Amino acid sequence: MRKQILLLLALLLGLLAGCGQEQITADEIVRRVQETIESTNDLHTVVDLSMQSPDQSGSGTVEFWASRAGTDAEGNQIVKLRLEVLEASQAKARGVTIVSDGEQAWAFVPSENKVYTGMLDELEELHGTQDSVPMDPLAATDQLREIVQRGLDSFNVELLGEEQVAGHQAYKVRLTPKQEAQQQFRIEQMLTVTAWIDSSRWLPLKVVAEAGSLGKAEATARTLETNTGIADDRFTFTPPAGAEVINVVELIKKSQPRSVSLEEAQQAVDFPLLEPAQLPAGVKLIDVKLVNTSQGSPLVAQIYAGDGLEFSLVQSRGAMTGQDDHEMPGLRHAQAREVSVRGVQGRIVESQGQRAMTFLTWEENDIHLAVAGRISGDQALEIAESLK
């Protein structure tokens, strides 16, 4: 997931890299981006997308509409949007439709025959706004100014010339991170973004982001229209007959971890919970989290800490979907190896150094178990072997 976010960030920076015939400057970019934003009330585009990475690759075509619809009582911009997946290399993505009327959102997944829906204010309240994506896909001027300025301060920007893209003349711009940007954006590999900006409309026509072994992402607009007027019925959605309708807010609330006692956790699952009979000196149980999963059987995480160590013992009858060892901080470049755990074959990934991280996982008696956290591989194996 983090790798995909990095590529999306690269695409965003590319979309914001406008330039003129003169030498590109931060003031010129900000001015032209501001002018485009302020004059854009609605947008319609068809975009070809592709992504290649070690974890996942695919391609497709999406059609997208967005329209500003005034402001709410607090002065926040209300935006209506619709996205339809026209083509996709992955079967599950084909025909996916996402719609928002500014108050409610729907996501229809034909392969599941399910519609996920929720009120935007409830979703915002549930998740908070600190790290959320702006609700206005056309963006807010102040936010764009900050992102553009920070991007220019951290990236070398080079005008490569002019080319034709989708029948339009475009300026070709290349962005590469300065050394300090490696830390600012936590870029672990060389990142290069090439953007083709419409020389008359100051809108992106094509963006290519390359991040070494992390992969490559590309977006090319087949069509791009602004301020044409989009009918309100484009932003309404009625679930198809027979489709299962799922309230996302309620689903998230049910799946959020909650602290319970070990006894309560034991009552919630249909298998005996194991506990370490041996712990490193100074380490003790500090919390127990119960998480409802889509597999039906809850997941239990026993959290231990003390004397500079912190780790979790996770147990679940269902597979631990979403538990990616290489997405844990400090483990993205570590190598996995097979190990023997409690008489069965397990898998361990560990890093070295003062802040060593370990992810040990195995299965016994149809139960999936994991020991993960800031401990060494030897300590994780000792804890696993002591479970009773």
Residue 246 in contact with residue 255, Cβ under 8 Å?
Answer: no
- For residues 367 and 263, give the distance between their C-alpha atoms in angstroms, rounded to a whole number: 19
Amino acid 319: pLDDT: 65
Amino acid 298: pLDDT: 85
Amino acid 326: pLDDT: 41
Amino acid 21: pLDDT: 40
Report angle CA 383, 387, 388 to the nearest 5 degrees. Answer: 160
Amino acid 344: pLDDT: 93
- CA-to-CA dists, residue 349 to 10, 302, 338, 340, 373, angstroms: 29, 20, 9, 13, 11
- CA-to-CA dists, residue 341 to 75, 155, 326, angstroms: 58, 47, 20
- CA-to-CA dists, residue 106 to 69, 82, 238, angstroms: 18, 9, 9
Residue ranges of the chain with per-residue pLDDT less than 70? 1-27, 29-31, 33-34, 126-154, 180-190, 294-296, 319-335, 352-355
Amino acid 354: pLDDT: 55
For 265-273, the CB contacts below 8 A with 24+ separation are: 265/290, 265/298, 265/300, 265/302, 268/298, 268/300, 269/297, 269/298, 269/300, 269/315, 269/317, 270/297, 270/317, 271/315, 271/317, 271/365, 271/367, 273/300, 273/302, 273/315
pLDDT tens-digit readout, 31-69: 676 688 778 899 999 999 999 887 778 999 999 999 998
Residue 34 in contact with residue 143, Cβ under 8 Å?
Answer: no
| Kind of pairing between the strands at 42-52 and 58-71 | antiparallel
End-to-end Cα separation, the chain, in angstroms: 35
Domains within the chain, CATH numbers bracketed: 2-248 (2.50.20.10), 257-385 (3.30.200.100)
- For residues 348 and 361, give the distance between their C-alpha atoms in angstroms, rounded to a whole number: 6
Nearest to 212 by CA among 6, 5, 1: 6
